[in-house]
Amino acid sequence: MRAVIQRVSRASVTVNDELVSSIQNGLLVLLGIEASDTEDDISWLSKKVVNLRVFNDEQEVMNRSILDENGEMIIVSQFTLHAQTKKGNRPSYIKAAKPEFAIPMYERFVTKVELDLGKKVGTGVFGADMKVDLLNDGPVTIWIDTKNKE
């Protein structure tokens, strides 16, 4: 699994001019799933995202998690995070999981995050043409790959 995590002042997802999810002060997580992902990837990434200390404390040091902030979250599926660009100029998405595998994994990840966070999170619509609007706070953007746990 690959995730791009952005600390946001606000974020929303719209599909066909209909607002699907909207948050204030929290995290927008773009999630890419590949066929080799497992339940261990879900658990590890969920705990990492929920406990990631990217919010400022009283000394303006990033030392607080979304749990500490009682923040909100939106998780959006994004297969393009698995783009391979080594050859040519047209990205290949061969590593991105097919929907029959990716959809249940995405849903299980959302459920695990909600359990770890202790509240519902917003989502996008898997496979839809989504319009994601956000105000990146900082900017703070973190990239995590469960196959490369650095």
**Domains located in the chain, CATH noted:** 2-144 (3.50.80.10)
Of the candidates 80, 111, 141, 146, the residue annotated as catalytic is 80
What pLDDT score does 44 carry?
98
**Digitized pLDDT (tens) for each residue of the chain, 150 residues in all:** 999 999 999 999 999 999 999 999 999 999 999 999 999 999 999 999 999 999 999 999 999 999 999 999 999 999 989 888 888 899 888 889 999 999 999 999 999 999 999 999 999 999 899 999 999 999 999 999 999 987
What pLDDT score does 94 carry?
86
Rounded to whole angstroms, the Cα distance separating 106 from 92 reads 21
pTM score: 0.94
Our answer to whether residue 14 is catalytic in this structure is no
